[in-house]
Amino acid sequence: MRGDPGGYRSRTEPTGVEVAVKDLLVAVLSLCALAVVALGGWWVLTESELFADSAAEADPAETAGAFAAAWERGDAESLAELAREDDDTVRATYEQFAEGLMADSDALEVRPGPTEQVQDGRARTPVAVTVDGPFGEVSWDVELETVRERGAWGVVWSTATVHPSLRPGMVFDVVREEVDRAPILAVGGQELAGEREQVTVGFEPGTVADRDELVATFEEVLPDTGEIVERLYARGGLVDDWFYPVISLPAEQADEVRAALRGVRGVVLRSGTGRALYDAGFAHHVVGVVGPVTAEQLERLGPSYASGDEVGQFGLEAVYESDLVDAVRIRAVLRERAEGAVHEVLGEALAGGLDAVRTTLDVPVQQAVENALAGVEDEAAIVVVDAADGAIRAAASRPLTAYNRAFEGRYAPGSAFRLVTGEALLAAGNVPGSEVVCDERTTVGGRTVTNAEGPALGTTSLQQAFAAGCDTTLATLAADALGPEGLAAAAERFGVGTQPQLPVPSFGGSFPTPADTTELVEAAVGLGRVEVSPLQLASMAAAARSGVWHPPSLMVDDEPDEARQLAAGTLDDLRTLLRAAVTDGDAVAAAGAAGDGATGELVEGVAGTARTSGGERHAWFAGSWGQYGFAVLVEDGGSGAEVAAPIAGRLVDEFELQLAADG
C-alpha cells in the first residue's frame, strides 16, 4: 500500500459522462413530480370548488322546485339564473306576467308535480299554475324541462314554460268592460227578458186621423194596449211629430201584427235592438218591463243614472235594477302585444252585479197559463206551483196594465177553502164515507150559511157533500168536530198567514183564529176574516197533491224555508175528496176538453165561489195536475163552477200540449 503514490481511495470516482446522465435523470423526475402535483391540485379544485356551488342543484327535482318557488315569490333574478336562456328575456317575461295579472303578491300559486327522468342528464316536471284575481281563479299546466350541463342542472326555457299559449311578443293583461243589462232567465235558461231584435209599436200624434180608431185597433190587435194609448193622450202635451212607444214585440211576433196595424193612420213600427220579454206580455207582472227613467226614479237611483236612461219599472226588472246594470266583466287575457288584439281569454268573472237573474219560472208552463187566459177580459189571475218544492213555475194577471193580483191580491177564498176544512175534518176522524147532511141553507152559531152553488143533497156521504160544494155541511161539521183551534191548526199546516219570501210584493193569506162559533163557521167556508192570494191558494193546492206545504219560491238560488206536513193519514182521503169534485161535483169543467186523464194525469181540485160583504162573487178553482198545484181566480166573475173551472180545464189542455211539445 506504501507503494501507492495517491494514498488511500474509498470509492471509484464517476466519469464525466456519468455525471451528465445523472443530471438529466434528476430533471426528468422533477418534471414528473411537478405534473403529478399539478394534476392532483386540478382534481381537488374541480371536485371540491368547481362543483361546490351546484351541489344543491344536482337533483333535477330540486332545480324544478327552486324554479317554481322563485316564480311564486316573484323573484325574476333567480328565475333568470336557473333558466338556460338570455337573462334579460326571462327576467322581462316574468316581470310582465306579474305586472299584467297580479294585483296581489299572494295571488299566485305554482306547484310542481313529480319529476320524471327522461334520460341521463334530462328530466321533466309538470307544474300547475293558479292565479287568483278579480277575474276569478285561473289555472293552467306547464312542463319544466331540466338538463344537466357540466354537472349543473338548469331549466330549458321558452315562453311555453310560462303559459302554453304564450308566444314571443304577447303580453298578459286584465280587461274590464261594462256589460249590457243582464238577462232574466227561466229555469230552463231561456231569456224571459233580454236584448234582442224587436219592433216597437207606437204612434205619432200629428198623423193620427181618428183617435178612437187608433185606440180600438191597438186594443183589438194587441190586447191591453188600447188603455196605454188612452193614458198617453190623457196626460196631454203630446208633440205632433214625436214617436210615442206603446209596446215592444219580438221581431217575429211583430210580423204577425204588422198587416193589421198598417192601415191605421198614425201607427208607427220601429225596428231595432232592445230589451224585450220572451213574448209580448209573457210573465209580464213578475218579470216586469223597462222604460224611461222618471224624475222620482232618478232621485232614488242616484247619480249613476241620467235622464233618458231606461230602468226597470216594476217586477224583477225594478227589484234587481242595480244588479242587472252595475256588473263589470273582468277578463284575464293574452294579447298579441300591449293594447293589441286579444289572443285568448284565460278566465273571466263579473264584479258589482249579476250575470243573470235566474227564476223558477218554466217557459212551457208559463205559455200554458198565457194561452189559458187568452180572451179573458175580466180581472183574472193564474199561478202554478211545483208540488215537489214550492217553486213558482208560472204566474199571470189580467189586465196587463193593472197590478200583480196573482201575487198581491187579497180575496176571500169562499168554498175553495174546502182544501183546509176538508183536511181538518179528516184529521178529526171523518172519512170520505162518513154520513153527513147537505141542506141548501142552515144556521150555525147565529150565522146563516147558504151553499154557493145551491146543492141540497139531504143525507149523503162526506165525499158527495164535499164534491158538490155543500158549505152548509162543512160549517156544521166545523162547529161540531173542530172548534177554532182545530181549524186554525189546519190553516197553519197549509201555510195560510205565512208571508212569502219573494223579491216582489206578495201576500201569503190571513187566518185569524176564530173568536167564536160565528167566526168559526165563516172561516170554515172561506169567508169572514179569511183571505188568500192566488199564489197562496196555488201553494195550498200543491200541498193537497203531495202532502207537504212548501213556501213558494221564485228565485233558483233561494234557500228553501221550512216545509209543513199535512195531518198524518189524511192525504189519500183528501185526494179522494178532491178527485170526486172533478168527476162528480162542481169542478167537472176542470177536466179539460181532451178528457180527464187523457195523458195519464188526473185532475184533482175544487171550484169555489166567494160572496163578499161588498156584493162581489169571486170565482175560484184550486187544484192540481201532475206535479203542479194551481189556482185560477176571476175577480167578481160569478160562479167558480161556471167561470173558473172552465179556465182550469183550458189550462190542463195547455199543460198537455205545451209540455208534450217541450218533450
pLDDT digits over 501-537, tens only?
999 999 999 999 999 999 999 999 999 999 999 999 9
In this prediction, residue 595 has a pLDDT band, given cuts at 50, 70 and 90, of: low
Mean pLDDT of 592-607: 75
Q: Note the pLDDT of residue 179.
A: 77
Q: Which of 168, 203, 226 is the last residue of a domain?
A: 168
- Judgement on whether residues 118 and 240 belong to the same structural domain of the protein: no
Other C-beta atoms closer than 10 Å to the C-beta of 520 total 25
Q: Is 130 helix (H, G, I), strand (E, B) or coil?
A: strand
- Judgement on whether residues 269 and 161 belong to the same structural domain of the protein: no
CA of residue 348 relative to chain centroid, distance: 18
CA distance 661 to 663: 5
CA distance 586 to 438: 14
Is 1 a member of any domain?
Answer: no
The lowest-confidence range among 474-478, 590-594, 628-632 is 590-594
CA distance 415 to 475: 11
Map grid coordinates 179569511 to a residue: 530
Q: Note the pLDDT of residue 597.
A: 56
Closest CA to 415 of 616, 609, 644, 615: 609
- Judgement on whether residues 145 and 64 belong to the same structural domain of the protein: yes
Q: What is the pTM of this model?
A: 0.73
Q: At what angle do helices 211-221 and 225-234 cross, to 10 degrees?
A: 150
User: Considering the chain, what percentage of its residues have pLDDT values greater than 70?
Assistant: 90
Residue 60 preceded by cis peptide, ω within 30: no
In this prediction, residue 570 has a pLDDT band, given cuts at 50, 70 and 90, of: very high
pLDDT digits over 185-224, tens only?
999 999 999 988 888 899 999 999 999 999 999 988 888 8
- Judgement on whether residues 532 and 565 belong to the same structural domain of the protein: yes
- Judgement on whether residues 234 and 367 belong to the same structural domain of the protein: no
- Judgement on whether residues 477 and 579 belong to the same structural domain of the protein: yes
Q: Note the pLDDT of residue 294.
A: 87
Mean pLDDT of 349-362: 89
Q: Note the pLDDT of residue 291.
A: 87
- Judgement on whether residues 234 and 101 belong to the same structural domain of the protein: no
Element (H, E) at 25: helix 16-45
Cα–Cα separations (whole angstroms), residue 539 to 21, 531, 630: 124, 14, 7
Do 414 and 475 meet the contact criterion of CB atoms below 8 Å apart?
Answer: no
Q: Which of 301, 326, 351 is the last residue of a domain?
A: 326
- Judgement on whether residues 399 and 270 belong to the same structural domain of the protein: no
CA of residue 195 relative to chain centroid, distance: 18
**What CATH number is attached to the domain comprising 523?**
3.40.710.10
Structurally, the chain folds into a number of domains equal to 3
Tell me what the pLDDT averaged over the chain comes to: 88
**What CATH number is attached to the domain comprising 89?**
3.10.450.100
Do 85 and 145 meet the contact criterion of CB atoms below 8 Å apart?
Answer: no
Q: Note the pLDDT of residue 27.
A: 47
Q: Note the pLDDT of residue 44.
A: 37
Q: Note the pLDDT of residue 355.
A: 85
**DSSP bridge partners of 108:** 131
In this prediction, residue 598 has a pLDDT band, given cuts at 50, 70 and 90, of: low
Q: Note the pLDDT of residue 115.
A: 96
In this prediction, residue 53 has a pLDDT band, given cuts at 50, 70 and 90, of: very low
Is 247 a member of any domain?
Answer: yes
CA of residue 279 relative to chain centroid, distance: 20
CA distance 591 to 383: 18
Cα-trace Rg, the chain = 43
- Judgement on whether residues 227 and 147 belong to the same structural domain of the protein: no
Do 509 and 497 meet the contact criterion of CB atoms below 8 Å apart?
Answer: yes
Is 334 a member of any domain?
Answer: no
CA distance 246 to 225: 7
CA dihedral 641, 647, 650, 655 (to 10 degrees): -110
> Is the pLDDT at 7 greater than 70, yes or no?
no
CA distance 458 to 470: 10
> Is the pLDDT at 47 greater than 60, yes or no?
no
Residues contacting residue 171 through CB under 8 Å, at least 6 positions apart: 96, 100, 334, 335, 337, 338, 340
Q: Note the pLDDT of residue 593.
A: 67
Cβ-based burial of 227 (10 A; exposed 0-12, middle 13-18, buried ≥19):
middle
pLDDT digits over 394-407, tens only?
999 999 989 999 99
Is 173 a member of any domain?
Answer: no
Cβ-based burial of 262 (10 A; exposed 0-12, middle 13-18, buried ≥19):
exposed
CA distance 212 to 269: 19
Q: Label each residue of 605-657 as H, E or C.
A: EEEEEEECCCCCEEEEEEEEECCEEEEEEECCCCCHHHHHHHHHHHHHHHHHH
The domain in which residue 275 lies consists of 184-326
User: Considering the chain, what percentage of its residues have pLDDT values greater than 90?
Assistant: 67
Q: What is the total residue count of the chain? A: 663
> Is the pLDDT at 169 greater than 90, yes or no?
yes
Q: Which of 267, 300, 326 is the last residue of a domain?
A: 326
- Judgement on whether residues 144 and 233 belong to the same structural domain of the protein: no
CA distance 311 to 599: 44
Do 406 and 534 meet the contact criterion of CB atoms below 8 Å apart?
Answer: yes
> Is the pLDDT at 161 greater than 60, yes or no?
yes
Cβ-based burial of 422 (10 A; exposed 0-12, middle 13-18, buried ≥19):
buried
Q: Note the pLDDT of residue 31.
A: 47
The lowest-confidence range among 181-185, 450-454, 494-498 is 450-454
Is 27 a member of any domain?
Answer: no
Closest CA to 564 of 552, 544, 548, 542: 548
- Judgement on whether residues 315 and 287 belong to the same structural domain of the protein: yes
Do 230 and 215 meet the contact criterion of CB atoms below 8 Å apart?
Answer: yes
Is 262 a member of any domain?
Answer: yes
Q: Classify residue 480 by its DSSP letter.
A: I
**What CATH number is attached to the domain comprising 279?**
3.90.1310
Pairing of strands 184-185, 357-358: parallel
CA distance 208 to 218: 13
Other C-beta atoms closer than 10 Å to the C-beta of 52 total 9
Other C-beta atoms closer than 10 Å to the C-beta of 70 total 20
Q: Classify residue 369 by its DSSP letter.
A: H
Q: Note the pLDDT of residue 253.
A: 79
**DSSP bridge partners of 334:** 172, 344
> Is the pLDDT at 39 greater than 50, yes or no?
no
CA atoms within 13 A on the CB side of 333: 19
Is 380 a member of any domain?
Answer: yes
Q: Note the pLDDT of residue 636.
A: 95
611 or 566: which leads in pLDDT:
566
Q: Note the pLDDT of residue 256.
A: 79
- Judgement on whether residues 164 and 196 belong to the same structural domain of the protein: no
pLDDT digits over 244-288, tens only?
988 888 887 788 788 888 789 999 999 888 888 998 899 999 999
Map grid coordinates 167537472 to a residue: 588
> Is the pLDDT at 104 greater than 80, yes or no?
no
CA distance 572 to 500: 27
Is 4 a member of any domain?
Answer: no
